[in-house]
């Protein structure tokens, strides 16, 4: 047994290389910040090696550990909870100013913080997000290249494959992840180029229509209309960073997405998949919107965590992203609930509550917050994707003159 549960180590290394090359496209002399869980150290070392091989000037490792973080939440006083010394913001903001490349390795236990007070988690998260605003703005506006990938971890693997032994579950999750990031027998970098070209073709098609609104309907109870921001741009696959290089913000990625008008949303959205929200699962939930704002919510499980999210700030009750993923995409075809948004959002059409991506509107990267708000851009410390796509989802595009175009039928592209 190696560190990777019997998976061919060269494939794992290929994955690390893919994250460094196709993911953030490390340039000679560039600083690289790697954020990961302590137990992912073996994979993180590969990333560091590959980054230096690609010419990185410095690789900065930032390890965290959900077990210690849980102990922190269980033990610290409210006073300590709200302490965010300057260095905590600066530890990320500095590297954003330095135009570093940011690699995040996700894959912690989806229920790591189950049972903890969601308000305490949200309070801390909001303070950290605010302190690290410069870093957050740099990634949301694509000023710097960044990527999120995932690596298995025992609690997560057992959650996804509860009937397998821990070892088998780990091996299976590794196999699935490698498959979703197109690592197999062929050339993964080439496979990604083809995939990105396909997504960009769909973006061109959607951009040519420039719909004013989209209407969603399915048998779960979703009946919902959302406005799209004036001048919205559909994006998908790779993006261009302010530093001039192309990068892939998420690996895997199957979505194309754009900016909704956060003032225009009416009706009800019903979740198609559970949502892992700061270590708490929210299941079978429903959001009702009026004039762009969530006016009512209910969940069979995890309702408190959902409410804590919605109560964070005004923007948390409004939408910041609309994304299309056909039912039957390679990830949805796996018929596996990953309990990790990186995978689950790529299995299903989704929306995000909270902050918009300024690059998804024409000229957005040079607009002030006031200018973005004027076209319907949303602002919040949160950005949380939630999945609504089902095998019977119908999406209709509505043009400015009121005419309609069928965009999705039975969960897949109709145009
Ligand atoms: Zn998305
Ligand atoms: Zn998102």
Which ligand lies nearest to the CA atom of residue 323 in the structure?
Answer: 1
322 CA distance to ligand 1 middle (Å): 7
19 CA distance to ligand 1 middle (Å): 19
- Of 171-175, 287-291, 319-323, 333-337, which range is least confident? 333-337
pLDDT tens digits, residue range 262-277?
Answer: 999 999 999 999 998 8
* Model pTM score: 0.86
Tell me which residue of 253, 266, 231, 248 sits closest to 360, measured CA to CA.
231
Q: How far apart are the first and last CA of the chain?
A: 48
Q: Give me the pLDDT at residue 374, please.
A: 97
90 CA distance to ligand 1 middle (Å): 27
Judge whether 54 and 20 are in contact, CB under 8 Å: yes
Which ligand lies nearest to the CA atom of residue 325 in the structure?
Answer: 1
Q: Give me the pLDDT at residue 2, please.
A: 58
User: Which residue, chain included where needed, has tokens 């999750």?
Assistant: 173
pLDDT tens digits, residue range 19-71?
Answer: 999 999 999 999 999 999 999 999 999 999 999 999 999 999 999 999 999 99
Judge whether 11 and 183 are in contact, CB under 8 Å: yes
352 CA distance to ligand 2 middle (Å): 5
Query: Does the pLDDT of residue 369 top 70, yes or no?
Result: yes
- For the residues 282-294, what does the mean pLDDT come to? 97
pLDDT tens digits, residue range 171-215?
Answer: 999 999 999 999 988 889 889 999 999 999 999 999 999 999 999
Q: Give me the pLDDT at residue 1, please.
A: 43
pLDDT tens digits, residue range 77-104?
Answer: 999 999 999 999 999 999 999 999 999 9
Residue 77 class from Cβ within 10 Å (0-12 exposed, 13-18 middle, 19+ buried)? exposed
Q: Give me the pLDDT at residue 306, please.
A: 96
Distance of CA 311 to the CA centre of its chain: 21
Strand 275-277 versus strand 280-290 pairing type: antiparallel
- For the residues 373-385, what does the mean pLDDT come to? 96
Average pLDDT of the chain?
A: 95
Q: Is residue 280 very low, low, confident or very high in pLDDT (cuts 50, 70, 90)?
A: confident
Provide the token pair at 55: 């010419």
For every residue of 69-82, DSSP letters joined together read HHHHHHHS-HHHHT
351 CA distance to ligand 2 middle (Å): 7
Q: What is the spatial distance between Cα 316 and Cα 314, in angstroms, rounded to a whole number?
A: 6
Q: What is the spatial distance between Cα 206 and Cα 179, in angstroms, rounded to a whole number?
A: 28
- For the residues 363-376, what does the mean pLDDT come to? 94
Q: What is the spatial distance between Cα 226 and Cα 323, in angstroms, rounded to a whole number?
A: 12
74 CA distance to ligand 1 middle (Å): 32
Surrounding ion ligand 1 within 5 Å at CB are 255, 323, 345, 385
Judge whether 170 and 152 are in contact, CB under 8 Å: yes
Q: Give me the pLDDT at residue 110, please.
A: 87
- Of 179-188, 328-337, 356-365, which range is least confident? 328-337
- Of 125-139, 182-196, 263-277, 372-386, which range is least confident? 182-196
Judge whether 273 and 337 are in contact, CB under 8 Å: yes
31 CA distance to ligand 2 middle (Å): 25
Judge whether 317 and 341 are in contact, CB under 8 Å: no
Tell me which residue of 330, 299, 295 sits closest to 224, measured CA to CA.
295
User: Which residue, chain included where needed, has tokens 């509860």?
Assistant: 162
Q: Give me the pLDDT at residue 341, please.
A: 86
Which ligand lies nearest to the CA atom of residue 320 in the structure?
Answer: 2
147 CA distance to ligand 2 middle (Å): 13
CA dihedral (56, 61, 187, 193) in degrees, to 10, reads: -80
272 CA distance to ligand 1 middle (Å): 15
The helix/strand/coil state of 103 is strand
Which ligand lies nearest to the CA atom of residue 234 in the structure?
Answer: 1
């Amino acid at each position: 047994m190696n560190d990777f549960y019997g998976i061919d180590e060269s494939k794992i290394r290929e994955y690390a290389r893919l994250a460094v090359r196709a993911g953030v496209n490390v340039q000679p002399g560039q600083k690289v910040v790697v954020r990961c869980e302590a137990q992912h150290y073996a994979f993180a070392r590969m990333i560091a090696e590959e980054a230096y091989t690609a010419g990185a000037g410095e690789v900065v490792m930032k390890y965290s550990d959900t077990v210690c973080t849980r102990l922190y939440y269980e033990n610290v006083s409210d006073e300590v909870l709200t302490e965010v010394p300057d260095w905590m913001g600066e530890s990320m903001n500095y590297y954003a100013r330095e135009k570093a490349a940011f690699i995040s390795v996700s894959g912690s236990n989806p229920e790591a913080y189950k049972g903890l007070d969601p308000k305490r988690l949200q309070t801390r998260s909001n303070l950290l997000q605010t302190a690290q605003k410069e870093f957050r703005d740099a990634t949301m506006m694509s000023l710097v290249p960044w990527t999120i990938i995932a690596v298995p971890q025992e609690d997560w693997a057992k959650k996804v494959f509860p009937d397998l032994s821990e070892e088998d579950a780990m091996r299976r999750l590794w196999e699935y992840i490698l498959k979703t990031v197109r690592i197999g027998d062929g050339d993964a970098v080439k496979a990604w180029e083809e995939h990105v070209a396909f997504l960009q073709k769909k973006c061109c098609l959607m951009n040519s229509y420039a719909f004013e609104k989209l209407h969603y309907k399915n048998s779960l109870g979703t009946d919902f209309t959302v406005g799209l921001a004036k001048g919205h741009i559909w994006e998908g696959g790779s993006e261009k960073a302010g530093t001039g290089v192309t990068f892939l913000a998420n690996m895997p990625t199957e979505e194309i997405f754009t900016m909704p008008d956060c003032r225009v949303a009416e009706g009800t959205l019903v979740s198609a998949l559970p949502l892992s929200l700061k270590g708490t699962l929210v299941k079978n939930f429903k959001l009702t919107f009026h004039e762009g704002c969530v006016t009512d919510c209910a969940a069979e499980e995890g309702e408190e965590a959902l409410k804590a999210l919605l109560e964070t700030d005004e923007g948390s009750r409004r939408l910041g992203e609309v994304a299309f993923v056909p039912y039957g995409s390679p990830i949805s075809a796996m018929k596996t609930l990953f309990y990790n948004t990186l995978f689950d959002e790529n299995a299903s059409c989704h929306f995000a509550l909270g902050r918009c991506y300024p690059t998804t509107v024409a000229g957005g990267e040079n607009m002030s917050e006031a200018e973005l708000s004027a076209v319907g851009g949303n602002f919040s410390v949160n950005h949380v994707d939630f999945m609504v796509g089902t095998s019977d989802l119908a999406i209709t595009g509505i043009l400015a003159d009121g005419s309609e175009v069928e965009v999705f039928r039975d969960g897949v592209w109709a145009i």
